[in-house]
Protein backbone atom coordinates (compact mmCIF):
# COMPACT_ATOMS: atom_id res chain seq x y z
CA UNK A 1 0.00 0.00 0.00
CA UNK A 2 3.01 2.35 -0.21
CA UNK A 3 2.06 3.34 -3.76
CA UNK A 4 -1.33 4.72 -2.80
CA UNK A 5 -2.12 8.14 -1.38
CA UNK A 6 -5.02 9.10 0.80
CA UNK A 7 -7.71 11.59 -0.12
CA UNK A 8 -6.34 14.16 2.34
CA UNK A 9 -2.85 13.86 0.78
CA UNK A 10 -4.37 14.29 -2.67
CA UNK A 11 -6.32 17.34 -1.48
CA UNK A 12 -3.15 18.86 0.02
CA UNK A 13 -1.25 18.30 -3.22
CA UNK A 14 -4.11 19.77 -5.24
CA UNK A 15 -4.22 22.88 -3.02
CA UNK A 16 -0.44 23.35 -3.24
CA UNK A 17 -0.52 22.92 -7.00
CA UNK A 18 -3.37 25.39 -7.31
CA UNK A 19 -1.45 27.94 -5.22
CA UNK A 20 1.67 27.47 -7.34
CA UNK A 21 -0.36 27.91 -10.53
CA UNK A 22 -1.88 31.12 -9.15
CA UNK A 23 1.58 32.38 -8.25
CA UNK A 24 2.83 31.53 -11.72
CA UNK A 25 -0.12 33.34 -13.28
CA UNK A 26 0.66 36.45 -11.20
CA UNK A 27 4.31 36.30 -12.24
CA UNK A 28 3.35 36.04 -15.91
CA UNK A 29 1.02 39.03 -15.49
CA UNK A 30 3.86 41.08 -13.94
CA UNK A 31 6.15 40.10 -16.81
CA UNK A 32 3.51 41.20 -19.31
CA UNK A 33 3.29 44.59 -17.58
CA UNK A 34 7.07 44.99 -17.65
CA UNK A 35 7.24 44.04 -21.32
CA UNK A 36 4.43 46.44 -22.16
CA UNK A 37 6.29 49.38 -20.60
CA UNK A 38 9.67 48.44 -22.03
CA UNK A 39 9.27 50.04 -25.50
CA UNK A 40 8.35 53.38 -23.93
CA UNK A 41 11.39 53.20 -21.64
CA UNK A 42 13.65 52.41 -24.60
CA UNK A 43 12.23 55.33 -26.60
CA UNK A 44 12.63 57.68 -23.62
CA UNK A 45 16.23 56.53 -23.15
CA UNK A 46 17.03 57.06 -26.82
CA UNK A 47 15.36 60.47 -26.81
CA UNK A 48 17.39 61.58 -23.81
CA UNK A 49 20.60 60.44 -25.48
CA UNK A 50 19.60 62.22 -28.68
CA UNK A 51 18.82 65.39 -26.73
CA UNK A 52 22.20 65.28 -25.04
CA UNK A 53 23.88 64.88 -28.44
CA UNK A 54 22.00 67.93 -29.75
CA UNK A 55 22.94 70.00 -26.69
CA UNK A 56 26.54 68.86 -27.11
CA UNK A 57 26.52 70.05 -30.74
CA UNK A 58 25.02 73.40 -29.69
CA UNK A 59 27.72 73.93 -27.06
CA UNK A 60 30.49 73.06 -29.52
CA UNK A 61 28.95 75.38 -32.09
CA UNK A 62 28.85 78.24 -29.56
CA UNK A 63 32.50 77.60 -28.64
CA UNK A 64 33.37 77.63 -32.33
CA UNK A 65 31.56 80.92 -32.83
CA UNK A 66 33.33 82.54 -29.88
CA UNK A 67 36.72 81.32 -31.07
CA UNK A 68 36.01 82.48 -34.63
CA UNK A 69 34.96 85.91 -33.38
CA UNK A 70 38.08 86.13 -31.20
CA UNK A 71 40.38 85.09 -34.04
CA UNK A 72 38.59 87.50 -36.39
CA UNK A 73 39.04 90.37 -33.97
CA UNK A 74 42.74 89.53 -33.58
CA UNK A 75 43.19 89.49 -37.35
CA UNK A 76 41.31 92.79 -37.59
CA UNK A 77 43.60 94.36 -34.97
CA UNK A 78 46.73 93.08 -36.71
CA UNK A 79 45.60 94.36 -40.12
CA UNK A 80 44.48 97.76 -38.76
pLDDT digits (tens, 9 = 90+) for 27-49: 999 999 888 888 888 887 777 77
Phi-psi category of 6—alpha, beta or left, where left has phi over 0 and alpha has psi -120 to 50?
beta
Q: Is pLDDT above 80 for 68? A: yes
Residue 53: C-alpha distances to residues 15, 41, 60 (Å): 57, 18, 11
How far is it between the farthest Cα atoms of the chain? 114
What distance lies between CA 58 and its chain's CA centroid?
A: 26
Instruction: Looking at the chain, list the stretches that DSSP marks H as alpha helix, in order from N- to C-terminal side.
Output: 7-79
What is the pLDDT, as a whole number, of residue 12? 92
Amino acid sequence: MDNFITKSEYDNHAIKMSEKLDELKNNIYEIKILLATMPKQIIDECDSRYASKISEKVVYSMVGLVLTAFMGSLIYLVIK
